[in-house]
């Protein structure tokens, strides 16, 4: 025992004397730090007769008498004595300094005793968190965080962001609170988590640990900008795919189910043409969760502007079937037919089919002539095209205007007409022999008797390839022109002679 003579005697005295109130009740301090034993005595300038500080009732710390200070060897350089109150400061504390401290103060023949306890704790240090994993997938795993620290009498507290983690169904705190287990992690469990470690003399906090919790893709949504489904040729369209995903998803794009080369969350279609119409969808893939999600398709319709009406034949012939087709590039939503500026009222012989795209005349008639207009409308425009229909028919009702009789040397003029589209070509026949082609009018000056006969006008329609004729039966050339008067006279004489001769003959017979 390291004990000086006088102090040993005093220690025995102290051992049996309670010194309540002179020193604080109990002190804690950290290794390496300083503890201050402050007595409750008022400062005095008069030196104490003697002051004796001892440890564990056995070791002298310091003995102060009028003449000298004696310091225990373990305390050299570590203590400071305050003569006015007999207080004592300890520095560079070690764990071995934990124990009972007592002081005995003699003054004016009176002895005052005090005792207290000092507990030295290691400071909290090296607080660190290890995680079983920091890379997790939502709903498919649990994670354990464990906290380690140096120090004594440690207690543990977990922080999730700035709030304290409390135990629950899926949050377990074990090993005296140093282990945190999260069962069935959710995306909200990313932290940052910190472990806060406390001892009676200090606290320490770990570095934050972030958990990376992958989830998704989910709630995929495809947004068109501008937000419409119909676009004019040449428009710029942007498709944006939004999705909840961690880490950010990778994107693929599909048009009518066929993958496009584009990747990225935005698909830009510049200067679109009609072939880019179709159902677009995006697919998001999360490389961590290995899940993917595909959006609902968004229909994009690129609308053309030009319309046309095409007939089934360029040369409709009456009585045949003809159809008009209203063509429009791109999608058309409504078609309306008009005739000569008014809404078309279909007759029994007309059929509208394919959503008004095709107008069919079962047997086309000249009454169907006119201007047909097909009006097309789609959500962004309205357009139309016209077709002027001319039904070819005939020839019909061939008629010849002209005389039945004509005087010899007169001028014969016959005019032929026919109902025909296109106009008929006329050919004239006399007694079945062609006498004139390609003229509606037959003219003959100074007709002879030999010009008598059957005059036929034949009309020919080069589209319908039909012919029709009309005949002037037995046109007669009559009378006498100047040259034939003698003939007439002779004829009269002949008749007269015949009459005479006849009379004679009749007479002679009698």
Ligand X SMILES: *[C@@H]1O[C@H](CO)[C@@H](O)[C@H](O)[C@H]1NC(C)=O
Nearer to ligand X, 48 or 254 (CB): 254
Task: Yes or no: say if 189 and 157 are a contact pair by the CB < 8 Å rule.
Answer: no
Instruction: Name the minimum Å distance from CB 56 to ligand X.
Output: 4
Nearer to ligand X, 204 or 384 (CB): 204
Nearer to ligand X, 143 or 309 (CB): 143
Q: How far apart are CA 233 and CA 272, in angstroms?
A: 6
Q: Which two tokens stand for residue 292?
A: 């993917």
Enclosing H/E stretch for 493: helix 485-509
Backbone CA torsion sign across 390, 395, 399, 402: positive
Q: How far apart are CA 334 and CA 324, in angstroms?
A: 16
Instruction: Name the minimum Å distance from CB 322 to ligand X.
Output: 12
348 lines the binding site for ligand X (CB under 6 A)? yes
The residue range among 224-232, 371-379, 451-459, 486-494 that interacts with ligand X, by the rule CB under 6 A, is 451-459
DSSP SS3 for 485: helix
The residue range among 11-19, 329-337, 398-406, 446-454 that interacts with ligand X, by the rule CB under 6 A, is 446-454
Q: Which of residues 195-254 bind ligand X (CB under 6 A)?
A: 208, 210
Show the site string, 8-47: x = touches ligand X by CB under 6 A, - = not: ----------------------------------------
Phi then psi for residue 505, to 5 deg, are -60, -40
Query: What is the CB neighbour count within 10 angstroms for residue 95?
Result: 11
With CA atoms as reference, report the closest residue to 367 among 348, 352, 381, 386.
Answer: 348
Instruction: Name the minimum Å distance from CB 142 to ligand X.
Output: 9
The residue range among 93-101, 228-236, 388-396, 478-486 that interacts with ligand X, by the rule CB under 6 A, is 93-101
279 lines the binding site for ligand X (CB under 6 A)? yes
Q: Which two tokens stand for residue 208?
A: 């934050």
161 lines the binding site for ligand X (CB under 6 A)? yes
Out of 80, 96, 334, 351, the only residue in the binding site for ligand X (CB under 6 A) is: 96
- Tokens 């058309």 sit on residue: 332
Q: Which two tokens stand for residue 444?
A: 């003959």
Out of 5, 108, 450, 507, the only residue in the binding site for ligand X (CB under 6 A) is: 450
Q: How far apart are CA 457 and CA 341, in angstroms?
A: 40
Show the site string, 123-142: x = touches ligand X by CB under 6 A, - = not: --xx------------x---
Task: Yes or no: say if 436 and 413 are a contact pair by the CB < 8 Å rule.
Answer: no
Nearer to ligand X, 10 or 459 (CB): 459
Q: How far apart are CA 58 and CA 11, in angstroms?
A: 7
Nearer to ligand X, 133 or 256 (CB): 256
177 lines the binding site for ligand X (CB under 6 A)? no
454 lines the binding site for ligand X (CB under 6 A)? yes
With CA atoms as reference, report the closest residue to 195 among 290, 106, 239, 131.
Answer: 131
Report DSSP letters for 429-483, one per residue: EETTEEEEES-SEEEESS--GGG-EEEEEEEEETTTTEEEEEEEEEEEEES--GG
Report DSSP letters for 206-234, one per residue: PPPB--EEEEEEEEEEEEEESS-SEEETT
Nearer to ligand X, 207 or 236 (CB): 207
Q: Which of residues 352-391 bind ligand X (CB under 6 A)?
A: 363, 365
189 lines the binding site for ligand X (CB under 6 A)? yes
150 lines the binding site for ligand X (CB under 6 A)? yes
The residue range among 82-90, 242-250, 344-352, 388-396 that interacts with ligand X, by the rule CB under 6 A, is 344-352
The residue range among 186-194, 198-206, 224-232, 376-384 that interacts with ligand X, by the rule CB under 6 A, is 186-194
Nearer to ligand X, 211 or 243 (CB): 211
Q: Which two tokens stand for residue 203?
A: 């606290």
Nearer to ligand X, 177 or 192 (CB): 192
306 lines the binding site for ligand X (CB under 6 A)? no
Q: Which two tokens stand for residue 160?
A: 């999730």
Q: How far apart are CA 79 and CA 57, in angstroms?
A: 18
Question: How many residues contact ligand X, by CB under 6 A?
Answer: 43
192 lines the binding site for ligand X (CB under 6 A)? yes
Out of 69, 174, 347, 353, the only residue in the binding site for ligand X (CB under 6 A) is: 347
Task: Yes or no: say if 115 and 23 are a contact pair by the CB < 8 Å rule.
Answer: yes
Q: Which residues bind ligand X (CB under 6 A)?
A: 56, 94, 96, 98-100, 125-126, 139, 150, 160-161, 165, 171, 182, 184, 188-189, 192, 208, 210, 256, 278-279, 297, 299, 347-349, 363, 365, 422, 430-432, 450, 452-454, 462-463, 473-474
């Amino acid at each position: 025992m390291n004990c000086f003579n006088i102090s040993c005697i005093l220690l025995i005295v102290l051992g049996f004397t309670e010194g309540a109130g002179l020193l604080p009740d109990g002190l804690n301090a950290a290794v390496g730090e300083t503890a201050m034993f402050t007595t409750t005595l008022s400062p005095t300038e008069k030196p104490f007769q003697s002051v004796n500080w001892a440890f564990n009732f056995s070791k002298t710390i310091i003995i102060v008498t009028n003449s000298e200070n004696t310091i225990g060897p373990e305390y050299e350089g570590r203590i400071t004595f305050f003569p006015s109150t007999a207080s004592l400061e300890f520095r560079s504390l070690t764990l071995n300094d934990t124990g009972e401290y007592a002081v005995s103060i003699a003054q004016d023949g009176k002895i005052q005793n005090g005792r207290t306890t000092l507990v030295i704790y290691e400071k909290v240090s090296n607080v660190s968190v290890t995680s079983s994993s920091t890379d997790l997938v939502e709903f498919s795993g649990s994670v354990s965080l464990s906290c380690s620290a140096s120090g004594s009498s440690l207690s543990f507290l977990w922080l999730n962001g700035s709030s304290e983690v409390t135990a629950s169904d899926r949050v377990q705190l074990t090993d005296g609170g140093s282990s945190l287990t999260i069962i069935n992690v959710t995306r909200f469990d990313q932290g940052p988590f910190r472990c806060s470690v406390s001892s009676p003399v200090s606290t320490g906090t770990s570095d934050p640990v972030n958990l990376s919790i992958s989830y998704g893709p989910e709630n995929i949504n495809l947004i068109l900008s501008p937000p419409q489904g119909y676009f004019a040729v040449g428009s710029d369209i942007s498709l944006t795919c939004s999705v909840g995903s961690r880490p950010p998803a990778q994107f693929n794009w599909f048009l009518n189910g066929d993958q496009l080369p584009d990747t990225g969350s935005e698909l830009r279609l510049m200067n679109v043409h009609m072939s880019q119409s179709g159902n677009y969808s995006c697919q998001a893939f999360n490389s961590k969760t290995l899940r993917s999600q595909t959006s609902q398709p968004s229909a994009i319709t690129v609308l053309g502007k030009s319309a046309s009406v095409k007939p089934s034949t360029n040369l409709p012939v009456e009585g045949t079937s003809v159809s008009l087709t209203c063509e429009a590039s791109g999608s058309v939503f409504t078609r309306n037919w008009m005739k000569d500026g008014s809404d078309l009222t279909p007759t029994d012989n007309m059929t509208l089919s394919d959503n008004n795209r095709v107008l069919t005349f079962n047997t086309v008639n000249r009454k169907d002539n006119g201007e047909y207009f097909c009006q097309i409308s789609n959500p962004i425009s309205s357009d139309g095209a016209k077709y002027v229909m001319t039904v070819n028919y005939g020839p019909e009702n061939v008629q010849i205007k002209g005389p039945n009789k004509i005087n010899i040397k007169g001028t014969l003029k016959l005019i032929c007409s026919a109902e025909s589209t296109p106009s008929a070509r006329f050919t004239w026949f006399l007694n079945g022999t062609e006498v004139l082609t390609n003229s509606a009018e037959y003219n003959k000056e100074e007709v002879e008797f030999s010009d008598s006969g059957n005059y036929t006008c034949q009309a020919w329609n080069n589209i319908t390839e039909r012919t029709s004729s009309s005949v002037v039966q037995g046109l007669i050339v009559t009378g006498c022109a100047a040259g034939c008067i003698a003939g007439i006279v002779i004829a009269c004489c002949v008749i007269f002679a015949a009459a005479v001769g006849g009379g004679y003959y009749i007479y002679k017979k009698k």
